[in-house]
Structure 1
Amino acid sequence: MQQLFKNYINTFRGLSKEIWWLALITLINRAGTMVIPFLSLYLKEDLHFTVSHVGWVMSAFGLGSVAGSWLGGKLTDMFGFYKIMIWSLLATGFLFIALQFINTFESICIGIFIVMMVADAFRPAMFVALNAYSKPENKIRSLTLIRLAINLGFSAGPAIGGLIITGLGYAGLFWVDGLTCIIATLVMINVLHPKKAKVLDEIKNEYPISAYKDGTFLIFLLAMALFGIVFLQYFSTITIYYKDIHSLSELQIGLILGLNGLLIFIFEMPLIKWLENTTYTKLKLMLFGVVLTGLSLLVLNLTSWSGILIAGMILMTIGEMIAFPFSNAFAVERAQKGNQGEYMALYSISFSIAHIFGHNAGLQMTYKFGFDITWYLVALVAFVCAIILYFLNKKLKTITN
């Protein structure tokens, strides 16, 4: 047991101090993002929106994410990652607090769009910061540490969110979300001042390649958008499924969602460390992760026993642990060829596009066809994504050889 713990600790060695500070800032921020997994329930249960209206609100969520990711990438290349991260975090905090005071369909759509546009400007800047502060040989583990922080935050967030809803109602979530963003801003100002920052892996390109002309990268982004559509069912459709079909309370839903983050916190870093030493390419590993995520929804149709929800969550978590770190690493490596902000913005946008279509499509399909058919159709999307990754991997191997 002691040796296992020692091996676990060793997987974190060699990462820069700045990466650890970024991870802490991300942890504080993400621990407060408990509104997101409960957003569809909040709209349906508290504001009494129809499932169709909830779907359109989630599309506004995605559109804001696309706009924010694009804008964040442009501004990062213009002004640097530090300023964009600070202003995005601070403004998001105040906007989350304000969001609770609007309640009509039209105003919620506009409000969600603005919040996500400001919030997701942070993502390309954070990826560029991570790339700047990481030694070349530690890129994947640095990315994994940030994901650990995100998922530890998501692990605590939904569980605490369920308790807050039970005790204070949904309004309490918006206050906690806003305040944690503001706290994360204050921490960042105090520990990551740009004058103290030391760039460990500076990349300069005299003639940077435009990400829009990188065909391989664009195909990769298509696969990531499809994967995002599958994965994001766990942030909208699945919570309604838990409540309507399996009659779970908000607290029970929060605990199941929290299991995802807990498993990632314990197992992801050792898993990534082990997979890095295998002969599998990043794209092949991503393919395996996509297949597991698709299967996590398919198994829900096997039985009405509520225990299958935990089995599905475990399958999805393993798939996520494999797919996301290696997709992040693939994008970061590709970004070294050109404008890093532009590359990482497009990577973020691929998931933002998934937000536009994934939530709405899932909710509309459950409304018209029911959950069973929805899970079959979403699994089909995962299969298409896996095929794209298979042929892209084959293409890159041919070029390399």
Structure 2
Amino acid sequence: MKNLFRFYFESFKGLRKEIWLLSLITLINRAGTMVIPFLSLYLTKSRGFTLEEVGWILTFFGLGSVTGSWLGGKLTDKIGHYKTMSISLIVSSVLFVLLQFPESFWPICIGIYLVMTVADIFRPAVFVAISAYSKPENRTRSVTLIRLAINLGFSAGPAIGGFIIATGGYNWLFWVDGLTCLAAGLLLLKLLHPKRSIPEPEDIISQAKSAFSDKLYLIFIFAMVIFGFVFIQYFSTMPLYYAEAHKLNEFEIGLLLGLNGLFIFLFEMPLIKFMENQRHTAMGYVILGTVLTGISFLAINLTGWTGILIVGMLLVTIGEMISFPFSNSFALHRSDGKKRGSYMALYSIAFSVSHIFGHNSGMQLIDNFGFEFTWYTMFGLSIFACILLFILKKLLSREKV
């Protein structure tokens, strides 16, 4: 047991102070984003929208995410990650509070689009910040530490969010989201000065290539779109399944979603450190994570036992723990000597595109064919993504020859 604890704490060693500060800011910001996991329930229960209408509203969620990710990459290359992150956090704090007031379909669509546009400007900037503040050999673990902050916030956020809904109603969530975004923005301005970053050499930046000219990277991005399409079902359509098929209430759903973040917080960093010491490629690990994510949907269809929901959540969590750090690390390493903002923007856009099509398609599939057919479809898409990634792995090995 003593050796286990030593291994756990040693997995955090060697990371720069700035990465820890960036993680703290991310933790505060993410702990307050309680609206997002409950958005589908909020729109159906509090606002009375149909599943079809919710699907279209969540499409605007994805459109805003794409716009924000693209704009974030542009702003990061132009004004730097520090200013870009600050603008995103402070402006989105106001927009989150205002989002509670629209009541009809189109105002809510526009409101969600604006919120996600501003909020997701943060995403490419934080990826570039990870690269700027970390040593190359520590990038995967630096990404993992940021993810730990995100998931620690996510483990607390839904549980607290479910309690707030049960006691005070949905409107309080918007106020908490706004205040935590503001707090994170102010901490960023106070603690994380851009002069502490490791700048890219000017001659590299001036001759850098765009991500759109990298064909193998585009294959990777397409596979990530499919993986994201499948993964986001756990945080949009799956809560509906928990409520309708297994009769869980908001607090129980919050606890189940919180298990994801808590498990990641406890085990992801040691797991990544262990896997980094093995002789496998990052792409191989991304394939493994994608397979586990797909199996989680298959498992849920095998039985009506409510306990299978925990098994499914643990499977998707382990898949996420493996896929995201290594896919992010692959993107960062692939962008070495190139326009990093464009590479990380495209990586962010992959998951934004998943939001555009994933939420809506998931809702439509459930509405027309039911939950069981939808989960089998997600399993099939996971296998397709694995095939693409396996082909990419072969092409990358030829590229090195």
TM-score (norm 2): 0.98
- Report if aligned partners of 1:134, 1:142 keep a CA contact under 8 Å in 2: yes
- 1:284-295 correspondence to structure 2 within 5 Å: 284-295=284-295
Residue among 194, 199, 202 paired with 2:200: 202
Match of 1:88? 88
- Whichever residue aligns with residue 64 of structure 2, its letter is G
1:310 aligns with 2:315: no
Q: Distance in 1 between matches of 2:187 and 2:207?
A: 36
- 1:275-290 correspondence to structure 2 within 5 Å: 275-290=275-290
Match of 2:172? 172
- Whichever residue aligns with residue 251 of structure 1, its letter is F
Q: Distance in 1 between matches of 2:187 and 2:337?
A: 32
Q: Distance in 2 between matches of 1:365 and 1:166?
A: 29
Q: Distance in 2 between matches of 1:373 and 1:142?
A: 38
Q: Distance in 2 between matches of 1:19 and 1:213?
A: 30
The alpha carbon displacement at 1:5 in A equals: 1.2
Alpha-carbon deviations, 1:51-95, whole Å to 9, x = none?
Answer: 000000110000000000000100110111111100100011110
Q: Distance in 2 between matches of 1:135 and 1:301?
A: 44
The alpha carbon displacement at 1:270 in A equals: 0.5
The alpha carbon displacement at 1:189 in A equals: 1.2
- 1:129-208 correspondence to structure 2 within 5 Å: 129-194=129-194, 197-200=195-198, 202-204=200-202, 205=204, 206-208=206-208
- Report if aligned partners of 1:135, 1:201 keep a CA contact under 8 Å in 2: no
The alpha carbon displacement at 1:203 in A equals: 4.7
Identity of aligned residues (%): 58
Which range is displaced more, 70-79 or 331-340?
331-340
Structure 1, unmatched stretches of 5+, are none
The alpha carbon displacement at 1:199 in A equals: 2.3
Q: Distance in 1 between matches of 2:231 and 2:89?
A: 25
Pairwise CA RMSD of aligned residues?
0.9
The alpha carbon displacement at 1:193 in A equals: 2.6
Match of 2:320? 320
Q: Distance in 2 between matches of 1:311 and 1:7?
A: 26
Alpha-carbon deviations, 1:98-141, whole Å to 9, x = none?
Answer: 00011111111000000000000011111111100001111100
The alpha carbon displacement at 1:190 in A equals: 1.2
Match of 2:244? 244
- Report if aligned partners of 1:134, 1:201 keep a CA contact under 8 Å in 2: no
Alpha-carbon deviations, 1:150-191, whole Å to 9, x = none?
Answer: 000000000000000001110011111111000101111111
1:216 to 1:337, Cα distance in 2 relative to 1, 3 A = farther
- Report if aligned partners of 1:11, 1:273 keep a CA contact under 8 Å in 2: yes
Structure 2 counterpart SS, 1:315: helix
- 1:3-42 correspondence to structure 2 within 5 Å: 3-42=3-42
- Whichever residue aligns with residue 200 of structure 1, its letter is I
- 1:251-290 correspondence to structure 2 within 5 Å: 251-290=251-290
Q: Distance in 2 between matches of 1:395 and 1:305?
A: 43
Match of 1:344? 344
Structure 2 counterpart SS, 1:69: helix
Match of 2:54? 54
- Whichever residue aligns with residue 42 of structure 1, its letter is Y
Q: Distance in 2 between matches of 1:319 and 1:342?
A: 26
Q: Distance in 2 between matches of 1:166 and 1:96?
A: 20
Q: Distance in 2 between matches of 1:129 and 1:313?
A: 30
Q: Distance in 2 between matches of 1:232 and 1:152?
A: 18
Match of 2:367? 367
Count of paired positions: 399
- Report if aligned partners of 1:283, 1:393 keep a CA contact under 8 Å in 2: yes
- Whichever residue aligns with residue 292 of structure 1, its letter is L
Match of 1:217? 217
Which range is displaced more, 3-12 or 247-256?
3-12
- Report if aligned partners of 1:88, 1:121 keep a CA contact under 8 Å in 2: yes
Structure 2, unmatched stretches of 5+, are none
The alpha carbon displacement at 1:335 in A equals: 1.3
